[in-house]
Every structure is written in structure tokens, then in C-alpha cells.
């Protein structure tokens, strides 16, 4: 293998740049030509591919986002689009790919490999921490710390005014951000997609908490089955309309995606980036490089896509015990 390319796809996450840097410099270290593909699969279709040098990735380790940009590609979902992407790779002589992203990215890479046989190793880039085959995903730790900083500040004003705050964090299908923010932020209740918490449960909990606490923080993952924070609050308020209690909603939104990556995310991005390149050189393909129990492991895209990554029962129990 002489030439490889790296791209980022799907939602951005802090630490992607650290991973890009590791891919480029590991490839150069081993004598490979490394190319960067702009705008993910869309850029691959259009041929937005450029040669990378060591200096191309200087001073990016600490930056959020991705210097290669990202996009969701409808074109790559079609056979015609994938054929165009393959033709562009052939044109540039690219023999292997490093795909940084999540489930959608890996689904595309798996299909592309099955159709054209281009060896691909993925790196887990998503703030949701919902990919099977790795203990943590690139960007998750930063997202949790960003959310926690906001939660701590909201706690101050909640306590000052005896208010109940419902704080919505990201997590359409996964409650990892929610549960870690709940534990780290001392939340009184956490609502995540993996556990069924009804509005009646919330009301019961709040009525119990008011005996010992004058303010409360409720963390709501955006994908909770009871609805978003704003919807839940309206239902809860109706049950407290005769009481002097003030409810507030804060949606943290995309602030969780940005910012300087933590040391943990920089190191994880660097480790998986290096492992992806060296994996390609050793014949690994159609798989993701992750870290489990502090060891680099390779997990097939099939398993990454189809297998669930459940929340730790210990975390759920810890949250419940510490919230009294």
C-alpha cells in the first residue's frame, strides 16, 4: 500500500483534528502518501482530494471541529454516487481509507468495501459514545465537560431562586452524555432513552425531593421517550399549578459539539488514528480501531453498526443513590 486517504463524515466532534493529524503523520512516518478528502463522502464523489504534508496538520491538535470539513451525503447513498467516488479514488491512486465518524459513516464504508473492495479502517468520531467496539468515542469526554460547565452555572442560579431546571443534552439514541452529566453535575433526576421514565415518575420524584431540597436539576437526553425538556416541563407544570414553584428549561444544543478537545479526546483521537493507519498496513479492513480496557482493538463494521452499547448499570444505580 502506497497511498491512503482520510476523511471525516457525519456530525463533527472535538478530537477529530487530533485523529486527522495522527493519520497523516503516521502515514508519512511509514513512507505512505496521505491524502485528505474534503466534506466526507460528498467530497469523495466530487474529487475534492488533496495531498497532505506533515505541516498540513500543524497547530490543529487543540482545535475543535474538523479541518477536512464534514457533510451528510445523499449522493453516496446511491450506486451512481458510490461509483463516482470509486472512480475519484482510482484517479488519485488511493488504495486505502481511514473514515472518522459514527454509525452512518461506517455503514457507508461497509457498503463501499463490499462493492469495490477498498480497504477501510474507521475511527470512532461522535460525541454520543454510542458505538460498539470502544469504551469511549472521540469527542464524548469534551461534550460531557462542556455540558457540565453549563450545568454548574445553572445550578448556581437554580439554588439562588429555588427553581427547578430541566436541562436538555444531546443524545438522540444514547443516554451516555445524560447519565455522566447527571452523575458529574449532581442532578436530581436523569431521563435517557435506555430507561423508561414517565412524566408521572418525574412528578413523583419532584414531590419527594421538595421535602429536602428547594431547587433541582433534571437532565433530559433529547431522545428520551417522554419528549424533549420543553415538552416534559409543560406536562409537569400542570401538576404544580397551585404551588409556588418556578420551572425553567435550558437546551444546551450544539455547544456540546464544539470547543477545544480535552486531553482524553486528543489522546484517543491520536491513538485510534495511528492504529487505523498501521491496521491498514497490516491488512486490517472493513473494521474500526477502538480502545477497550486501554488496549487498541479492531471491531468489524458489522458489529459496530448492529450491536448495541448499553449504559452501564452501575452508572444508573450510582445516579439513583446519589440523587437523594
Which CATH number goes with the domain that contains 204?
3.40.50.460
Q: State which residues form the domain around 181.
A: 141-257
151, 300: one domain: no
Distance CA 190, CA 171 (A): 12
- Among candidate residues 224, 240, 257, the one where a domain is terminated: 257
10, 90: one domain: yes
- The SS3 call for residue 140 is helix
129, 169: one domain: no
Residue 321 within a domain: no
Specify the pLDDT at position 208. 85
172, 231: one domain: yes
Residue 194 within a domain: yes
114, 193: one domain: no
Residue 20 within a domain: yes
Lowest mean pLDDT among 242-256, 282-296, 302-316: 242-256
Residue 322 within a domain: no
Q: Domain total for the chain?
A: 2
77, 168: one domain: no
Distance CA 284, CA 100 (A): 16
88, 202: one domain: no
Specify the pLDDT at position 240. 83
55, 28: one domain: yes
Residue 311 within a domain: no
Given a contact cutoff of 8 angstroms between Cβ atoms, the answer to whether 258 and 14 are in contact is yes
Query: pLDDT, tens digit, for every residue of 259-276?
Result: 999 999 999 999 999 999
Residue 56 within a domain: yes
Specify the pLDDT at position 286. 97
Q: What is the mean pLDDT of the chain?
A: 95
132, 13: one domain: yes
Give which of 140, 63, 57 is closest to 102, Cα–Cα.
140
DSSP state of 31: T
Q: Which of 42, 103, 128, 141 is catalytic?
A: 128
250, 267: one domain: no
- Among candidate residues 257, 277, 297, the one where a domain is terminated: 257
Given a contact cutoff of 8 angstroms between Cβ atoms, the answer to whether 137 and 125 are in contact is yes
128 annotated active-site: yes
- Triad 68, 270, 92: Cα angle to 5°: 40
Residue 316 within a domain: no
Residue 320 within a domain: no
Specify the pLDDT at position 324. 83
Query: pLDDT, tens digit, for every residue of 208-251?
Result: 887 788 899 999 999 998 889 999 999 998 888 767 788 999 99
- Among candidate residues 200, 234, 257, the one where a domain is terminated: 257
273, 132: one domain: yes
pLDDT above 90: residue 130: yes
**What residues does 189 pair with on adjacent strands?**
218
pTM: 0.95
249, 171: one domain: yes
Query: pLDDT, tens digit, for every residue of 19-73?
Result: 999 999 999 999 999 999 999 999 999 999 999 999 999 999 999 999 999 988 9
pLDDT above 80: residue 121: yes
Q: Order of strands, edge to edge, in the sheet holding 3-8?
A: 49-52, 33-37, 3-8, 96-101, 120-124, 287-292, 295-300
At 32, phi and psi to the nearest 5? -90, 155
Q: Find the CATH number of the domain harbouring 28.
A: 3.40.50.450
Amino acid at each position: 500500500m502506497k497511498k491512503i486517504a482520510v476523511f471525516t463524515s457525519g456530525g463533527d466532534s472535538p478530537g477529530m483534528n487530533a485523529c486527522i493529524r495522527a493519520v497523516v503523520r503516521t502515514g508519512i512516518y511509514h513512507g505512505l502518501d496521505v491524502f485528505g478528502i474534503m466534506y466526507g463522502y460528498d467530497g469523495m464523489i466530487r474529487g475534492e482530494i488533496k495531498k497532505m504534508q506533515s505541516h498540513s496538520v500543524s497547530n490543529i491538535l487543540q482545535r475543535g471541529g474538523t479541518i477536512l470539513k464534514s457533510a451528510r451525503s445523499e449522493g453516496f447513498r446511491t450506486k451512481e454516487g458510490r461509483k463516482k467516488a470509486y472512480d475519484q479514488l482510482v484517479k488519485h491512486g488511493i488504495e486505502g481509507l481511514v473514515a472518522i465518524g459514527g454509525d452512518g459513516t461506517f455503514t457507508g464504508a461497509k457498503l463501499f468495501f463490499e462493492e469495490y473492495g477498498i480497504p477501510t479502517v474507521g475511527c470512532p468520531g461522535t460525541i454520543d459514545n454510542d458505538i460498539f467496539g470502544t469504551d469511549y468515542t472521540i469527542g464524548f469526554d469534551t461534550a460531557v465537560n462542556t455540558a457540565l460547565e453549563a450545568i454548574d452555572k445553572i445550578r448556581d442560579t437554580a439554588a439562588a431562586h429555588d427553581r427547578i431546571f430541566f436541562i436538555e443534552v444531546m443524545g438522540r439514541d444514547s443516554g451516555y452524555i445524560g447519565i455522566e452529566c447527571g452523575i458529574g453535575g449532581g442532578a436530581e433526576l436523569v431521563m435517557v432513552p435506555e430507561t423508561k421514565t414517565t412524566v408521572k415518575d418525574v412528578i413523583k420524584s419532584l414531590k419527594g425531593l421538595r421535602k429536602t431540597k428547594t431547587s433541582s436539576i433534571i437532565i433530559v437526553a433529547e431522545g428520551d421517550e417522554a419528549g424533549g425538556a420543553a415538552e416534559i416541563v409543560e406536562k409537569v407544570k400542570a401538576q404544580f399549578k397551585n404551588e409556588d414553584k418556578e420551572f425553567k428549561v435550558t437546551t444546551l444544543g450544539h455547544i456540546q459539539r464544539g470547543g477545544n478537545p480535552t486531553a482524553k479526546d486528543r489522546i484517543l483521537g491520536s491513538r485510534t488514528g495511528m492504529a487505523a493507519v498501521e491496521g491498514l498496513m497490516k491488512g486490517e479492513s472493513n473494521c474500526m480501531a477502538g480502545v477497550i480496557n486501554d488496549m487498541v482493538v479492531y471491531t468489524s463494521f458489522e458489529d459496530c453498526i448492529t450491536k448495541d452499547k448499553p449504559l452501564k448499570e452501575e452508572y444508573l444505580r450510582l445516579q439513583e443513590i446519589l440523587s437523594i
